[in-house]
Structure 1
Amino acid sequence: MDLRWPLLILLLLVLLPVGYALLVRFMPDPEVPDGLPIGHASRLRALPRFQELARQQLLLTQVQLVSVVLVLIGSVWLAARPMHTEVVDKPAKPGDVVLCVDLTPAARAGTVPALAEVRDLLPVLRKEKLRIGMQGFQATTAELLALTDDFDRADAVIAETRSALADPTTSGTRGAATGDGLVTCARTFDAPKAQRGRAVVLIGTGSSTGSVIDLAEAAGIARDRGVTVYAVPAGADRAGVADLKAAAELTGGELVGGPDPIDTVWSREAIRLDPPPTPLRRDGPFVPTVIVLLGLGGLLLAGLRGLFR
Protein backbone atom coordinates (compact mmCIF):
# COMPACT_ATOMS: atom_id res chain seq x y z
CA MET A 1 0.00 0.00 0.00
CA ASP A 2 1.34 3.44 -0.87
CA LEU A 3 0.18 7.01 -0.34
CA ARG A 4 -0.96 9.54 -2.87
CA TRP A 5 0.27 12.48 -0.76
CA PRO A 6 3.05 11.03 1.46
CA LEU A 7 4.48 14.47 2.27
CA LEU A 8 1.24 15.32 4.06
CA ILE A 9 2.10 12.79 6.79
CA LEU A 10 5.50 14.38 7.32
CA LEU A 11 3.93 17.83 7.45
CA LEU A 12 1.33 16.79 10.02
CA LEU A 13 3.91 14.92 12.12
CA VAL A 14 5.87 18.16 12.33
CA LEU A 15 2.86 20.43 12.94
CA LEU A 16 1.25 18.32 15.68
CA PRO A 17 4.13 18.50 18.22
CA VAL A 18 4.72 22.15 17.35
CA GLY A 19 1.06 22.92 17.97
CA TYR A 20 1.12 21.00 21.26
CA ALA A 21 4.23 22.87 22.40
CA LEU A 22 2.63 26.22 21.58
CA LEU A 23 -0.54 25.19 23.42
CA VAL A 24 1.41 24.26 26.55
CA ARG A 25 3.53 27.40 26.30
CA PHE A 26 0.68 29.90 26.12
CA MET A 27 -2.03 28.08 28.10
CA PRO A 28 -2.47 29.66 31.54
CA ASP A 29 -1.63 27.50 34.54
CA PRO A 30 -4.70 25.95 36.15
CA GLU A 31 -5.65 27.43 39.47
CA VAL A 32 -5.11 25.20 42.50
CA PRO A 33 -8.50 24.75 44.16
CA ASP A 34 -8.75 25.79 47.74
CA GLY A 35 -9.85 23.12 50.18
CA LEU A 36 -9.47 21.68 53.60
CA PRO A 37 -6.53 19.40 54.38
CA ILE A 38 -7.48 15.76 54.80
CA GLY A 39 -6.09 13.94 57.78
CA HIS A 40 -4.58 10.48 57.47
CA ALA A 41 -4.54 10.72 53.60
CA SER A 42 -1.98 7.94 53.44
CA ARG A 43 -4.34 5.59 55.25
CA LEU A 44 -7.12 6.45 52.78
CA ARG A 45 -4.84 5.69 49.84
CA ALA A 46 -4.02 2.34 51.37
CA LEU A 47 -7.65 1.26 51.42
CA PRO A 48 -8.47 -1.49 48.84
CA ARG A 49 -11.42 0.45 47.46
CA PHE A 50 -9.30 3.58 46.92
CA GLN A 51 -6.58 1.57 45.20
CA GLU A 52 -9.18 -0.13 42.99
CA LEU A 53 -10.64 3.23 41.97
CA ALA A 54 -7.16 4.60 41.33
CA ARG A 55 -6.35 1.63 39.06
CA GLN A 56 -9.61 2.16 37.19
CA GLN A 57 -8.84 5.85 36.74
CA LEU A 58 -5.34 5.05 35.48
CA LEU A 59 -6.73 2.48 33.07
CA LEU A 60 -9.32 4.94 31.75
CA THR A 61 -6.62 7.55 31.24
CA GLN A 62 -4.45 5.05 29.35
CA VAL A 63 -7.42 4.00 27.17
CA GLN A 64 -8.19 7.65 26.40
CA LEU A 65 -4.56 8.36 25.54
CA VAL A 66 -4.26 5.33 23.25
CA SER A 67 -7.63 6.15 21.63
CA VAL A 68 -6.56 9.73 20.90
CA VAL A 69 -3.31 8.45 19.37
CA LEU A 70 -5.25 5.97 17.20
CA VAL A 71 -7.63 8.67 15.98
CA LEU A 72 -4.71 10.97 15.14
CA ILE A 73 -2.78 8.23 13.31
CA GLY A 74 -5.84 7.07 11.34
CA SER A 75 -6.87 10.62 10.45
CA VAL A 76 -3.41 11.56 9.21
CA TRP A 77 -3.23 8.29 7.26
CA LEU A 78 -6.60 8.95 5.64
CA ALA A 79 -5.62 12.52 4.81
CA ALA A 80 -2.54 11.20 2.96
CA ARG A 81 -4.89 9.19 0.67
CA PRO A 82 -3.77 5.54 1.00
CA MET A 83 -3.73 3.71 -2.32
CA HIS A 84 -3.15 0.15 -3.45
CA THR A 85 -2.18 -1.14 -6.88
CA GLU A 86 -4.32 -3.76 -8.56
CA VAL A 87 -3.13 -5.52 -11.71
CA VAL A 88 -5.92 -5.89 -14.27
CA ASP A 89 -5.42 -8.66 -16.80
CA LYS A 90 -8.28 -8.79 -19.29
CA PRO A 91 -8.84 -12.08 -21.11
CA ALA A 92 -7.81 -12.26 -24.75
CA LYS A 93 -10.58 -11.56 -27.23
CA PRO A 94 -10.96 -13.45 -30.53
CA GLY A 95 -10.81 -11.25 -33.59
CA ASP A 96 -11.92 -10.83 -37.18
CA VAL A 97 -9.67 -9.20 -39.78
CA VAL A 98 -10.91 -8.14 -43.21
CA LEU A 99 -8.48 -7.24 -45.98
CA CYS A 100 -9.95 -4.35 -47.97
CA VAL A 101 -7.89 -4.32 -51.17
CA ASP A 102 -7.77 -1.68 -53.89
CA LEU A 103 -7.65 -3.67 -57.17
CA THR A 104 -6.99 -0.75 -59.53
CA PRO A 105 -3.79 -0.74 -61.62
CA ALA A 106 -2.53 2.33 -59.76
CA ALA A 107 -2.45 0.41 -56.46
CA ARG A 108 -1.09 -2.91 -57.68
CA ALA A 109 2.56 -2.08 -57.11
CA GLY A 110 1.69 -1.90 -53.40
CA THR A 111 -1.09 -4.47 -53.10
CA VAL A 112 0.90 -7.34 -54.67
CA PRO A 113 3.72 -7.29 -52.06
CA ALA A 114 1.19 -6.63 -49.28
CA LEU A 115 -0.77 -9.75 -50.21
CA ALA A 116 2.48 -11.73 -50.36
CA GLU A 117 3.21 -10.55 -46.83
CA VAL A 118 -0.26 -11.63 -45.72
CA ARG A 119 0.42 -15.13 -47.07
CA ASP A 120 3.70 -15.27 -45.15
CA LEU A 121 1.83 -14.27 -41.98
CA LEU A 122 -0.92 -16.90 -42.29
CA PRO A 123 1.01 -19.62 -40.36
CA VAL A 124 1.12 -17.24 -37.39
CA LEU A 125 -2.56 -16.33 -37.71
CA ARG A 126 -3.55 -20.01 -37.75
CA LYS A 127 -2.54 -20.27 -34.10
CA GLU A 128 -4.79 -17.38 -33.05
CA LYS A 129 -8.53 -17.26 -32.37
CA LEU A 130 -8.95 -15.40 -35.62
CA ARG A 131 -11.06 -15.30 -38.75
CA ILE A 132 -9.93 -13.63 -41.95
CA GLY A 133 -11.86 -12.25 -44.93
CA MET A 134 -11.12 -10.19 -48.03
CA GLN A 135 -13.03 -7.64 -50.07
CA GLY A 136 -11.76 -6.14 -53.33
CA PHE A 137 -12.88 -2.85 -54.80
CA GLN A 138 -12.40 -0.74 -57.90
CA ALA A 139 -15.39 1.20 -59.16
CA THR A 140 -17.50 -1.42 -57.38
CA THR A 141 -16.87 -3.82 -54.51
CA ALA A 142 -16.73 -7.62 -54.67
CA GLU A 143 -16.42 -10.20 -51.92
CA LEU A 144 -13.32 -12.32 -52.51
CA LEU A 145 -13.30 -14.26 -49.23
CA ALA A 146 -16.03 -14.41 -46.62
CA LEU A 147 -14.91 -14.40 -42.99
CA THR A 148 -13.47 -17.84 -42.28
CA ASP A 149 -11.08 -19.71 -40.03
CA ASP A 150 -10.21 -22.05 -42.93
CA PHE A 151 -6.71 -20.74 -43.56
CA ASP A 152 -6.00 -23.20 -46.38
CA ARG A 153 -8.86 -21.71 -48.37
CA ALA A 154 -7.78 -18.19 -47.36
CA ASP A 155 -4.25 -18.90 -48.60
CA ALA A 156 -5.56 -20.17 -51.93
CA VAL A 157 -7.82 -17.13 -52.48
CA ILE A 158 -5.10 -14.64 -51.51
CA ALA A 159 -2.58 -16.42 -53.77
CA GLU A 160 -5.03 -16.36 -56.68
CA THR A 161 -5.81 -12.67 -56.17
CA ARG A 162 -2.12 -11.80 -55.94
CA SER A 163 -1.34 -13.69 -59.15
CA ALA A 164 -4.17 -11.93 -60.97
CA LEU A 165 -2.97 -8.51 -59.84
CA ALA A 166 0.63 -9.33 -60.75
CA ASP A 167 -0.42 -10.24 -64.30
CA PRO A 168 0.05 -7.10 -66.47
CA THR A 169 -2.74 -8.23 -68.79
CA THR A 170 -5.36 -8.04 -66.02
CA SER A 171 -7.61 -5.08 -66.69
CA GLY A 172 -8.94 -2.61 -64.18
CA THR A 173 -10.58 0.78 -63.75
CA ARG A 174 -8.62 3.99 -63.30
CA GLY A 175 -10.50 5.28 -60.25
CA ALA A 176 -11.12 3.49 -56.97
CA ALA A 177 -14.28 3.94 -54.91
CA THR A 178 -12.36 3.67 -51.62
CA GLY A 179 -15.16 5.10 -49.50
CA ASP A 180 -17.71 2.60 -50.81
CA GLY A 181 -15.17 -0.19 -50.43
CA LEU A 182 -14.49 0.67 -46.77
CA VAL A 183 -18.21 0.76 -45.95
CA THR A 184 -18.70 -2.67 -47.53
CA CYS A 185 -15.74 -4.06 -45.61
CA ALA A 186 -17.03 -2.60 -42.34
CA ARG A 187 -20.40 -4.29 -42.87
CA THR A 188 -19.01 -7.80 -43.41
CA PHE A 189 -18.62 -8.58 -39.72
CA ASP A 190 -21.33 -10.88 -38.41
CA ALA A 191 -20.49 -11.36 -34.70
CA PRO A 192 -21.32 -8.54 -32.25
CA LYS A 193 -18.39 -6.25 -31.51
CA ALA A 194 -18.65 -7.14 -27.81
CA GLN A 195 -17.72 -10.74 -28.62
CA ARG A 196 -15.00 -10.37 -31.24
CA GLY A 197 -12.53 -7.71 -32.28
CA ARG A 198 -13.15 -6.03 -35.64
CA ALA A 199 -10.33 -4.75 -37.82
CA VAL A 200 -10.08 -3.71 -41.47
CA VAL A 201 -6.74 -3.53 -43.26
CA LEU A 202 -7.36 -0.94 -46.00
CA ILE A 203 -4.75 -1.32 -48.74
CA GLY A 204 -4.98 1.23 -51.54
CA THR A 205 -4.50 4.67 -52.99
CA GLY A 206 -7.09 6.45 -50.86
CA SER A 207 -8.85 7.72 -53.99
CA SER A 208 -12.63 7.95 -53.84
CA THR A 209 -13.24 8.73 -57.52
CA GLY A 210 -16.79 7.73 -58.33
CA SER A 211 -17.49 6.73 -54.73
CA VAL A 212 -20.97 7.44 -53.39
CA ILE A 213 -19.58 7.79 -49.87
CA ASP A 214 -16.38 9.72 -49.32
CA LEU A 215 -13.59 8.23 -47.24
CA ALA A 216 -14.16 10.38 -44.14
CA GLU A 217 -17.85 9.47 -44.00
CA ALA A 218 -16.99 5.80 -44.55
CA ALA A 219 -14.54 5.96 -41.64
CA GLY A 220 -17.30 7.38 -39.44
CA ILE A 221 -19.55 4.45 -40.34
CA ALA A 222 -16.74 2.02 -39.53
CA ARG A 223 -16.14 3.70 -36.18
CA ASP A 224 -19.83 3.52 -35.28
CA ARG A 225 -19.76 -0.21 -36.00
CA GLY A 226 -16.78 -0.75 -33.71
CA VAL A 227 -14.32 -1.35 -36.56
CA THR A 228 -10.67 -0.32 -36.28
CA VAL A 229 -9.10 0.61 -39.62
CA TYR A 230 -5.41 0.18 -40.40
CA ALA A 231 -4.52 1.98 -43.62
CA VAL A 232 -1.64 0.74 -45.80
CA PRO A 233 -0.82 3.17 -48.65
CA ALA A 234 -0.42 1.46 -52.02
CA GLY A 235 0.30 3.78 -54.96
CA ALA A 236 -1.12 6.71 -52.98
CA ASP A 237 -0.13 10.31 -53.65
CA ARG A 238 0.27 12.88 -50.87
CA ALA A 239 -3.46 13.69 -50.76
CA GLY A 240 -4.36 10.00 -50.71
CA VAL A 241 -1.96 9.31 -47.84
CA ALA A 242 -3.47 12.21 -45.87
CA ASP A 243 -7.01 10.90 -46.47
CA LEU A 244 -6.03 7.36 -45.46
CA LYS A 245 -4.33 8.60 -42.31
CA ALA A 246 -7.33 10.72 -41.28
CA ALA A 247 -9.75 7.86 -41.92
CA ALA A 248 -7.70 5.35 -39.93
CA GLU A 249 -7.20 7.66 -36.96
CA LEU A 250 -10.93 8.45 -36.86
CA THR A 251 -11.58 4.77 -36.04
CA GLY A 252 -8.79 4.46 -33.49
CA GLY A 253 -6.41 2.87 -36.00
CA GLU A 254 -3.40 4.30 -37.76
CA LEU A 255 -1.59 4.68 -41.05
CA VAL A 256 1.03 1.94 -41.40
CA GLY A 257 3.91 2.19 -43.83
CA GLY A 258 7.46 0.91 -43.97
CA PRO A 259 8.94 -2.24 -45.44
CA ASP A 260 6.70 -4.72 -43.56
CA PRO A 261 3.35 -2.99 -43.03
CA ILE A 262 1.26 -6.15 -42.58
CA ASP A 263 3.53 -7.44 -39.81
CA THR A 264 3.22 -4.06 -38.12
CA VAL A 265 -0.56 -4.13 -38.45
CA TRP A 266 -0.76 -7.58 -36.88
CA SER A 267 1.51 -6.59 -33.98
CA ARG A 268 -0.81 -3.64 -33.23
CA GLU A 269 -3.95 -5.75 -33.55
CA ALA A 270 -2.55 -8.58 -31.42
CA ILE A 271 -1.93 -6.13 -28.58
CA ARG A 272 -5.42 -4.69 -28.97
CA LEU A 273 -7.00 -8.16 -28.80
CA ASP A 274 -4.84 -9.30 -25.89
CA PRO A 275 -3.61 -6.23 -24.02
CA PRO A 276 -0.84 -6.71 -21.43
CA PRO A 277 -1.73 -6.56 -17.74
CA THR A 278 -2.11 -2.98 -16.60
CA PRO A 279 -1.63 -1.67 -13.04
CA LEU A 280 -4.63 0.22 -11.69
CA ARG A 281 -4.35 2.36 -8.57
CA ARG A 282 -7.36 2.31 -6.25
CA ASP A 283 -8.12 3.97 -2.93
CA GLY A 284 -7.32 1.77 0.07
CA PRO A 285 -8.89 3.46 3.11
CA PHE A 286 -9.89 0.24 4.95
CA VAL A 287 -6.98 -0.04 7.40
CA PRO A 288 -6.82 3.64 8.48
CA THR A 289 -10.62 3.76 8.74
CA VAL A 290 -10.55 0.76 11.11
CA ILE A 291 -7.86 2.51 13.18
CA VAL A 292 -9.99 5.67 13.45
CA LEU A 293 -13.06 3.63 14.43
CA LEU A 294 -11.08 1.75 17.09
CA GLY A 295 -9.88 5.07 18.53
CA LEU A 296 -13.38 6.54 18.55
CA GLY A 297 -14.71 3.36 20.13
CA GLY A 298 -12.08 3.57 22.86
CA LEU A 299 -12.97 7.20 23.60
CA LEU A 300 -16.67 6.34 23.72
CA LEU A 301 -16.05 3.38 26.01
CA ALA A 302 -13.86 5.42 28.35
CA GLY A 303 -16.42 8.22 28.46
CA LEU A 304 -19.32 5.89 29.25
CA ARG A 305 -17.26 4.03 31.84
CA GLY A 306 -16.40 7.28 33.58
CA LEU A 307 -20.02 8.48 33.39
CA PHE A 308 -21.59 5.37 34.94
CA ARG A 309 -18.79 4.48 37.32
Structure 2
Amino acid sequence: MKTLLKKLTETASPSGYESAIREVIRAEISSLSTNIKVDALGNLIVTMGKKTDNGLRVMIAAHMDEIGVIVSHVEQTGLVRFSNLGTILPQYLAGSRVVFLNGTRGVINHDLPDDLHKIMPLNKHFIDVGATSGKDCPLKIGDVGVFDRSFVDLGKRVSAKSMDDRVACAVMIETMKIIKNSPHELVFVFSTQEEVQCKGATTAAYEIEPDLGIAVDVTPSLDILGIKMQVDLGKGPAIKVRDMGMMSDPRVVSWMESTAKKNKIAYQLEVLDVGTTDAKAMQISKAGLPSGALSIPCRYVHSPSEVVDMDDVQATVNLLSALLNNPISL
Protein backbone atom coordinates (compact mmCIF):
# COMPACT_ATOMS: atom_id res chain seq x y z
CA MET A 1 0.00 0.00 0.00
CA LYS A 2 2.99 2.33 0.41
CA THR A 3 3.41 2.56 -3.37
CA LEU A 4 -0.21 3.63 -3.70
CA LEU A 5 0.16 6.15 -0.87
CA LYS A 6 3.24 7.65 -2.51
CA LYS A 7 1.39 8.05 -5.80
CA LEU A 8 -1.64 9.64 -4.16
CA THR A 9 0.17 12.01 -1.79
CA GLU A 10 2.60 13.29 -4.40
CA THR A 11 -0.22 14.37 -6.73
CA ALA A 12 -0.99 18.08 -6.40
CA SER A 13 -4.75 18.72 -6.16
CA PRO A 14 -5.96 21.43 -3.76
CA SER A 15 -9.61 22.08 -2.99
CA GLY A 16 -11.53 22.98 -6.13
CA TYR A 17 -8.75 21.69 -8.40
CA GLU A 18 -9.02 17.93 -7.95
CA SER A 19 -8.81 16.82 -11.60
CA ALA A 20 -5.26 15.41 -11.35
CA ILE A 21 -5.88 13.25 -8.28
CA ARG A 22 -9.25 12.18 -9.64
CA GLU A 23 -7.58 10.69 -12.71
CA VAL A 24 -4.97 8.92 -10.59
CA ILE A 25 -7.70 7.35 -8.46
CA ARG A 26 -9.85 6.51 -11.49
CA ALA A 27 -6.93 4.56 -12.98
CA GLU A 28 -6.64 2.56 -9.74
CA ILE A 29 -10.32 1.59 -9.54
CA SER A 30 -11.43 1.46 -13.19
CA SER A 31 -11.45 -2.35 -13.26
CA LEU A 32 -13.47 -2.68 -10.04
CA SER A 33 -16.81 -1.32 -11.24
CA THR A 34 -18.70 -0.58 -14.42
CA ASN A 35 -20.63 2.20 -12.68
CA ILE A 36 -18.18 5.08 -12.34
CA LYS A 37 -19.11 8.71 -12.87
CA VAL A 38 -18.03 12.26 -12.12
CA ASP A 39 -20.69 14.70 -10.94
CA ALA A 40 -20.99 18.46 -11.36
CA LEU A 41 -18.69 19.25 -8.42
CA GLY A 42 -16.05 16.79 -9.57
CA ASN A 43 -16.76 13.98 -7.09
CA LEU A 44 -15.65 10.57 -8.35
CA ILE A 45 -18.57 8.24 -7.55
CA VAL A 46 -18.14 4.47 -7.80
CA THR A 47 -21.10 2.14 -7.22
CA MET A 48 -20.57 -1.54 -6.44
CA GLY A 49 -23.23 -4.24 -6.02
CA LYS A 50 -26.97 -4.03 -5.56
CA LYS A 51 -29.09 -3.65 -2.47
CA THR A 52 -30.63 -6.98 -1.44
CA ASP A 53 -33.71 -7.45 0.73
CA ASN A 54 -31.59 -7.24 3.88
CA GLY A 55 -29.19 -4.65 2.51
CA LEU A 56 -28.78 -0.87 2.54
CA ARG A 57 -27.49 1.78 0.20
CA VAL A 58 -24.30 2.86 1.95
CA MET A 59 -22.31 5.95 1.02
CA ILE A 60 -18.64 5.79 1.96
CA ALA A 61 -16.73 9.05 1.48
CA ALA A 62 -13.08 10.08 1.59
CA HIS A 63 -12.07 13.48 0.30
CA MET A 64 -9.42 13.69 -2.39
CA ASP A 65 -8.69 17.42 -2.10
CA GLU A 66 -5.86 18.81 -0.01
CA ILE A 67 -5.14 22.14 1.65
CA GLY A 68 -3.41 24.69 -0.53
CA VAL A 69 -2.56 28.33 -1.25
CA ILE A 70 -4.00 30.82 -3.72
CA VAL A 71 -2.23 33.95 -5.00
CA SER A 72 -3.93 37.13 -3.81
CA HIS A 73 -1.34 39.77 -4.77
CA VAL A 74 1.99 40.07 -6.58
CA GLU A 75 4.26 42.82 -5.23
CA GLN A 76 6.52 45.01 -7.36
CA THR A 77 9.49 43.16 -5.87
CA GLY A 78 8.18 39.87 -7.30
CA LEU A 79 7.21 38.47 -3.93
CA VAL A 80 3.82 36.76 -3.90
CA ARG A 81 1.18 37.24 -1.21
CA PHE A 82 -1.35 34.47 -0.79
CA SER A 83 -4.48 33.28 0.95
CA ASN A 84 -5.49 29.81 2.06
CA LEU A 85 -7.51 26.98 0.56
CA GLY A 86 -8.59 25.13 3.69
CA THR A 87 -7.01 25.59 7.10
CA ILE A 88 -3.35 26.59 6.82
CA LEU A 89 -1.48 26.69 10.14
CA PRO A 90 1.04 29.58 10.20
CA GLN A 91 3.47 27.74 12.51
CA TYR A 92 4.28 25.32 9.68
CA LEU A 93 4.87 27.92 6.95
CA ALA A 94 8.27 29.65 7.26
CA GLY A 95 10.82 27.72 5.22
CA SER A 96 8.23 25.48 3.58
CA ARG A 97 8.21 25.03 -0.16
CA VAL A 98 5.19 25.13 -2.43
CA VAL A 99 4.53 24.07 -6.00
CA PHE A 100 1.83 25.67 -8.13
CA LEU A 101 -0.28 23.85 -10.68
CA ASN A 102 1.54 25.71 -13.47
CA GLY A 103 4.81 24.14 -12.27
CA THR A 104 6.21 27.21 -10.49
CA ARG A 105 7.99 26.46 -7.23
CA GLY A 106 8.65 28.83 -4.36
CA VAL A 107 9.74 29.21 -0.74
CA ILE A 108 7.51 30.63 1.99
CA ASN A 109 8.75 33.15 4.53
CA HIS A 110 7.34 36.14 6.40
CA ASP A 111 7.84 39.81 7.15
CA LEU A 112 10.31 40.68 9.91
CA PRO A 113 8.51 40.28 13.25
CA ASP A 114 8.88 42.60 16.23
CA ASP A 115 9.43 39.47 18.33
CA LEU A 116 11.55 36.74 16.75
CA HIS A 117 9.77 34.12 18.84
CA LYS A 118 6.30 35.15 17.68
CA ILE A 119 4.35 33.10 15.12
CA MET A 120 3.37 35.46 12.32
CA PRO A 121 -0.19 35.40 10.97
CA LEU A 122 -0.96 34.10 7.50
CA ASN A 123 -1.30 37.58 5.96
CA LYS A 124 2.29 38.42 6.93
CA HIS A 125 3.72 35.56 4.87
CA PHE A 126 4.88 35.64 1.25
CA ILE A 127 6.20 33.24 -1.38
CA ASP A 128 9.55 33.85 -3.06
CA VAL A 129 9.56 32.28 -6.54
CA GLY A 130 12.85 33.85 -7.57
CA ALA A 131 11.28 36.74 -9.49
CA THR A 132 13.11 40.07 -9.47
CA SER A 133 10.00 42.14 -10.16
CA GLY A 134 6.26 41.84 -10.53
CA LYS A 135 6.63 41.82 -14.30
CA ASP A 136 8.77 38.69 -14.43
CA CYS A 137 6.80 36.80 -11.78
CA PRO A 138 5.39 33.59 -13.33
CA LEU A 139 2.30 33.73 -11.09
CA LYS A 140 -0.87 35.78 -11.26
CA ILE A 141 -3.80 36.38 -8.95
CA GLY A 142 -5.84 33.20 -8.58
CA ASP A 143 -3.04 30.70 -9.25
CA VAL A 144 -3.14 27.82 -6.76
CA GLY A 145 -0.51 25.57 -5.25
CA VAL A 146 0.20 23.00 -2.53
CA PHE A 147 3.04 22.11 -0.20
CA ASP A 148 6.01 20.69 -2.11
CA ARG A 149 7.06 17.67 -0.06
CA SER A 150 7.74 14.12 -1.22
CA PHE A 151 6.66 10.85 0.39
CA VAL A 152 9.12 9.45 2.95
CA ASP A 153 9.16 5.81 4.09
CA LEU A 154 10.01 5.72 7.80
CA GLY A 155 9.57 1.97 8.14
CA LYS A 156 6.43 1.13 10.07
CA ARG A 157 5.36 4.73 9.62
CA VAL A 158 5.33 7.04 6.60
CA SER A 159 5.28 10.78 6.09
CA ALA A 160 3.99 13.02 3.30
CA LYS A 161 1.94 16.11 2.65
CA SER A 162 -1.77 15.46 2.00
CA MET A 163 -2.09 12.30 4.08
CA ASP A 164 -5.25 14.24 4.89
CA ASP A 165 -7.04 12.67 3.18
CA ARG A 166 -5.18 10.63 0.55
CA VAL A 167 -4.52 7.92 3.14
CA ALA A 168 -8.30 7.45 3.42
CA CYS A 169 -8.56 7.37 -0.37
CA ALA A 170 -6.02 4.53 -0.29
CA VAL A 171 -8.10 2.77 2.39
CA MET A 172 -11.19 2.99 0.20
CA ILE A 173 -9.33 1.72 -2.87
CA GLU A 174 -7.94 -1.27 -0.95
CA THR A 175 -11.35 -1.98 0.56
CA MET A 176 -12.99 -1.94 -2.85
CA LYS A 177 -10.51 -4.56 -4.02
CA ILE A 178 -11.47 -7.07 -1.32
CA ILE A 179 -15.22 -6.52 -0.95
CA LYS A 180 -17.07 -9.67 -2.01
CA ASN A 181 -20.76 -10.58 -1.98
CA SER A 182 -21.86 -7.60 0.10
CA PRO A 183 -25.62 -7.49 0.63
CA HIS A 184 -25.46 -3.72 0.20
CA GLU A 185 -25.32 -1.24 -2.63
CA LEU A 186 -22.00 0.42 -1.89
CA VAL A 187 -21.42 3.92 -3.22
CA PHE A 188 -17.81 5.00 -2.78
CA VAL A 189 -17.36 8.75 -3.12
CA PHE A 190 -13.94 10.33 -3.57
CA SER A 191 -15.19 13.78 -2.67
CA THR A 192 -14.08 17.28 -3.56
CA GLN A 193 -13.73 20.47 -1.53
CA GLU A 194 -13.97 18.88 1.92
CA GLU A 195 -11.35 21.30 3.20
CA VAL A 196 -13.66 24.21 2.28
CA GLN A 197 -16.85 23.17 4.08
CA CYS A 198 -17.52 19.68 2.73
CA LYS A 199 -19.05 20.89 -0.52
CA GLY A 200 -18.52 17.75 -2.59
CA ALA A 201 -20.03 15.37 -0.05
CA THR A 202 -22.99 17.70 0.40
CA THR A 203 -24.08 17.47 -3.23
CA ALA A 204 -23.13 13.80 -3.59
CA ALA A 205 -25.24 12.74 -0.60
CA TYR A 206 -28.18 14.74 -1.92
CA GLU A 207 -28.03 12.85 -5.23
CA ILE A 208 -27.23 9.37 -3.86
CA GLU A 209 -29.86 9.38 -1.08
CA PRO A 210 -28.04 6.76 1.03
CA ASP A 211 -29.55 4.83 3.92
CA LEU A 212 -26.28 5.08 5.86
CA GLY A 213 -23.21 7.29 5.62
CA ILE A 214 -19.60 6.55 6.59
CA ALA A 215 -16.76 9.05 6.26
CA VAL A 216 -13.14 7.92 6.28
CA ASP A 217 -10.70 10.64 7.27
CA VAL A 218 -7.69 11.36 9.46
CA THR A 219 -7.80 12.63 13.03
CA PRO A 220 -5.03 14.35 14.97
CA SER A 221 -2.89 11.96 16.99
CA LEU A 222 -1.78 14.08 19.89
CA ASP A 223 -0.10 11.35 21.92
CA ILE A 224 3.26 13.11 21.85
CA LEU A 225 2.00 16.63 22.58
CA GLY A 226 0.44 16.11 25.99
CA ILE A 227 -3.00 17.24 24.84
CA LYS A 228 -5.93 15.47 26.46
CA MET A 229 -7.36 13.73 23.43
CA GLN A 230 -6.79 10.01 23.58
CA VAL A 231 -6.08 8.97 19.99
CA ASP A 232 -2.64 7.44 19.57
CA LEU A 233 -0.60 6.33 16.60
CA GLY A 234 -0.33 2.57 16.30
CA LYS A 235 -3.43 1.67 18.32
CA GLY A 236 -5.86 1.19 15.45
CA PRO A 237 -8.52 3.29 13.71
CA ALA A 238 -10.60 5.68 15.79
CA ILE A 239 -14.37 5.35 15.77
CA LYS A 240 -15.72 8.87 15.87
CA VAL A 241 -18.14 9.74 18.65
CA ARG A 242 -18.18 13.50 18.15
CA ASP A 243 -16.37 16.33 16.43
CA MET A 244 -17.13 20.03 16.03
CA GLY A 245 -19.54 19.41 13.15
CA MET A 246 -21.51 16.33 14.17
CA MET A 247 -22.49 13.78 16.75
CA SER A 248 -22.17 10.28 15.30
CA ASP A 249 -25.33 8.22 15.50
CA PRO A 250 -24.88 6.11 18.69
CA ARG A 251 -26.19 3.07 16.83
CA VAL A 252 -23.46 3.48 14.23
CA VAL A 253 -20.79 3.82 16.93
CA SER A 254 -22.07 0.66 18.63
CA TRP A 255 -22.16 -1.26 15.32
CA MET A 256 -18.59 -0.22 14.51
CA GLU A 257 -17.36 -1.17 17.99
CA SER A 258 -19.05 -4.58 17.98
CA THR A 259 -17.71 -5.33 14.48
CA ALA A 260 -14.17 -4.43 15.55
CA LYS A 261 -14.42 -6.64 18.64
CA LYS A 262 -15.91 -9.55 16.70
CA ASN A 263 -13.06 -9.40 14.18
CA LYS A 264 -10.37 -8.76 16.82
CA ILE A 265 -9.40 -5.42 15.25
CA ALA A 266 -7.81 -2.89 17.59
CA TYR A 267 -9.73 0.39 17.70
CA GLN A 268 -10.01 3.64 19.64
CA LEU A 269 -12.84 6.07 20.37
CA GLU A 270 -12.57 9.68 19.21
CA VAL A 271 -13.97 12.90 20.63
CA LEU A 272 -12.49 15.71 18.55
CA ASP A 273 -12.52 19.38 19.54
CA VAL A 274 -11.43 20.76 16.15
CA GLY A 275 -12.75 20.25 12.64
CA THR A 276 -15.20 17.82 11.10
CA THR A 277 -15.55 15.42 8.16
CA ASP A 278 -17.81 14.57 5.23
CA ALA A 279 -20.00 12.68 7.73
CA LYS A 280 -21.42 16.05 8.77
CA ALA A 281 -22.70 16.66 5.25
CA MET A 282 -24.13 13.17 4.90
CA GLN A 283 -25.87 13.22 8.28
CA ILE A 284 -28.05 16.24 7.44
CA SER A 285 -28.63 15.56 3.74
CA LYS A 286 -32.30 15.89 2.79
CA ALA A 287 -34.32 14.39 5.67
CA GLY A 288 -31.15 13.11 7.37
CA LEU A 289 -29.54 9.68 7.77
CA PRO A 290 -27.53 7.72 10.36
CA SER A 291 -23.86 8.55 9.89
CA GLY A 292 -20.50 7.93 11.46
CA ALA A 293 -16.80 8.02 10.67
CA LEU A 294 -13.65 5.94 10.83
CA SER A 295 -10.58 8.05 11.55
CA ILE A 296 -6.96 7.19 10.82
CA PRO A 297 -4.65 8.63 13.53
CA CYS A 298 -2.27 11.16 12.00
CA ARG A 299 0.48 13.31 13.51
CA TYR A 300 1.04 16.91 12.40
CA VAL A 301 -2.27 17.26 10.52
CA HIS A 302 -2.31 20.16 8.02
CA SER A 303 1.46 20.40 7.99
CA PRO A 304 3.79 19.65 5.05
CA SER A 305 4.84 16.40 6.76
CA GLU A 306 1.93 14.40 8.13
CA VAL A 307 2.72 11.00 9.66
CA VAL A 308 0.61 7.82 9.81
CA ASP A 309 1.27 4.29 11.03
CA MET A 310 0.83 1.59 8.37
CA ASP A 311 -0.63 -0.83 10.92
CA ASP A 312 -3.42 1.68 11.58
CA VAL A 313 -3.98 2.06 7.84
CA GLN A 314 -4.29 -1.70 7.30
CA ALA A 315 -6.53 -2.06 10.36
CA THR A 316 -8.83 0.60 8.91
CA VAL A 317 -9.08 -1.40 5.68
CA ASN A 318 -9.86 -4.53 7.70
CA LEU A 319 -12.55 -2.83 9.77
CA LEU A 320 -14.20 -1.03 6.85
CA SER A 321 -14.28 -4.28 4.88
CA ALA A 322 -15.85 -6.15 7.79
CA LEU A 323 -18.47 -3.44 8.19
CA LEU A 324 -19.47 -3.51 4.53
CA ASN A 325 -19.31 -7.24 3.83
CA ASN A 326 -22.05 -8.20 6.28
CA PRO A 327 -25.69 -7.32 6.99
CA ILE A 328 -26.16 -4.12 9.00
CA SER A 329 -28.60 -3.92 11.87
CA LEU A 330 -28.65 -0.64 13.77
Fold similarity call, TM over 0.5: no
Query: Higher helix share goes to which structure?
Result: 1
Q: What TM-score does the superposition give when structure 2 sets the normalisation length?
A: 0.28
Q: What TM-score does the superposition give when structure 1 sets the normalisation length?
A: 0.30
Q: Which has the larger radius of gyration?
A: 1
Query: Higher strand share goes to which structure?
Result: 2
